[in-house]
């Protein structure tokens, strides 16, 4: 797919607000646009974002409930079996530690609490452990609970939904054509099936991507439309943080300006969905982080799985400085 389309970004945004769906060619034009048009592109994406979310920003906090020891060979991941990254490795956190994380989520004004565990899929025993924790979180807080535990069976999906899990995350990570370059121990279609399984159980599907892993501009557009087809309610946009010791160590393909164009493109293609600036935002967007909020209406706050995020007070300040407001209750 190639394009030399010249677009009126503000006019296109108004058309989208009125119900128009952008074409792949128009989406690609955003990524190919001249940097001189960047502020206009962001203004246009903010018009769409404001229509659906006003000036509210959703905060999400992660707890890494099980770290490392994963049998998958994902090249970007420090927890992969092929990674030599010096990370902390541990089996499941106790229920008390998971609950403590939920309380910390509230202190940080994060309305969504994400329980994440490394591994291909949870065992029955691990599922019971998560279910017990989720039930107590639901009984004692007003948090929206998200889980990210790997591949799901129909039975496990039903258990999580019954326990009160609102959302299940399983990222597509990259395009179908690029997938074999990222991992060989599972397929793109298995990831798609898991997102569909989560949705079929009644949980809200959350799925996004990691950009900067060798995908072309066209493939970035393909990812956006694949997520639209899956009807993902929440779309985390991660930007590769090439951790030393992983197969992608030293890779650097993104500029802060391209990250902004990716966020804008995601908003144009998925206008009503929660677009979240996720892992790698600090090291990729750098000083342009605040501008990302013109397209995205959600961010992760605090640390990620094995990498550090910026201080939560700095995120609060960034949101306030931009004239936005934290949406503390995500229900």
Residues tagged in the binding site annotation for [4Fe-4S] cluster: 70, 74, 77
235: its two tokens: 């779309």
- Which neighbouring-strand residues pair with 114? 62, 146
Q: Say which DSSP state 37 is in.
A: G
What's the gap between Cα 10 and its chain centre?
Answer: 26
| Distance between CA atoms of residues 327 and 316, nearest Å | 11
Which H or E run includes 42? helix 38-53
CA dihedral 73, 248, 242, 218 (to 10 degrees): -100
Asked if residue 55 lies in contact with residue 46, where contact means CB atoms within 8 angstroms, the answer is: no
167: its two tokens: 């959302």
| Distance between CA atoms of residues 266 and 235, nearest Å | 9
Greatest CA separation for the chain: 56
| Spatial CA neighbour of 267 closest among 242, 300, 291, 303 | 291
Q: What are the binding residues?
A: 70, 74, 77, 114, 146, 206, 276
| Distance between CA atoms of residues 23 and 2, nearest Å | 13
CB contact burial 289-307 (16+ within 10 A = b; e otherwise) = bebbbbbbbbbbbbebbbe
Asked if residue 253 lies in contact with residue 214, where contact means CB atoms within 8 angstroms, the answer is: yes
How many Cα neighbours within 13 Å face the side chain of 216?
A: 9
Q: What are the binding residues for [2Fe-2S] cluster?
A: 114, 146, 206, 276
Cα-based angle 89, 92, 97 (whole degrees, multiple of 5): 105
């Amino acid at each position: 797919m190639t394009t030399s389309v010249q677009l009126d970004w503000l006019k296109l945004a108004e058309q989208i607000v009125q119900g128009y769906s952008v074409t792949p060619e128009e989406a690609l034009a955003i990524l190919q646009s001249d940097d001189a048009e960047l502020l206009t592109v962001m203004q246009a994406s903010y018009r769409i974002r404001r229509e659906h979310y006003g000036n509210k920003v959703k905060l999400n906090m992660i707890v890494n409930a099980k770290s490392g020891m994963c049998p998958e060979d994902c090249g970007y991941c420090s927890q992969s079996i092929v990674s030599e990254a010096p990370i902390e490795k541990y089996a499941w956190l106790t229920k008390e530690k998971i609950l403590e994380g939920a309380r910390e989520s509230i202190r940080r004004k994060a309305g969504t609490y994400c329980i994440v565990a490394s591994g291909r899929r949870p065992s029955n025993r691990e599922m019971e452990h998560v279910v017990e924790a989720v039930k107590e979180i639901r009984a004692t807080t007003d948090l929206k609970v998200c889980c990210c535990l790997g591949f799901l069976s129909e039975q496990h999906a039903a258990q999580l939904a019954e326990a009160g899990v609102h959302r299940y995350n399983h990222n597509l990570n990259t395009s179908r054509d690029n997938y074999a370059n990222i991992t060989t121990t599972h397929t793109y279609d298995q990831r798609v099936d898991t997102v569909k399984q989560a949705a079929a159980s009644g949980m809200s599907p959350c799925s996004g991507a990691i950009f900067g892993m060798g995908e072309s501009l066209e493939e970035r557009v393909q990812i956006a439309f694949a997520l639209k087809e899956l009807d993902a309610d929440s779309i985390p946009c991660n930007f590769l943080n090439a951790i030393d010791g992983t197969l992608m160590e030293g890779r650097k393909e993104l500029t802060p300006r391209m990250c902004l164009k990716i966020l804008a493109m995601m908003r144009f293609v998925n206008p009503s969905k929660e677009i979240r600036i996720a892992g790698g935002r600090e090291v990729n967007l750098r000083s342009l982080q605040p501008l990302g909020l013109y397209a995205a209406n959600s961010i992760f706050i605090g640390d990620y799985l094995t990498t550090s995020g910026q201080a939560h007070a700095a995120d609060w300040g960034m949101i306030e400085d931009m004239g936005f407001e934290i949406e503390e209750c995500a229900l």
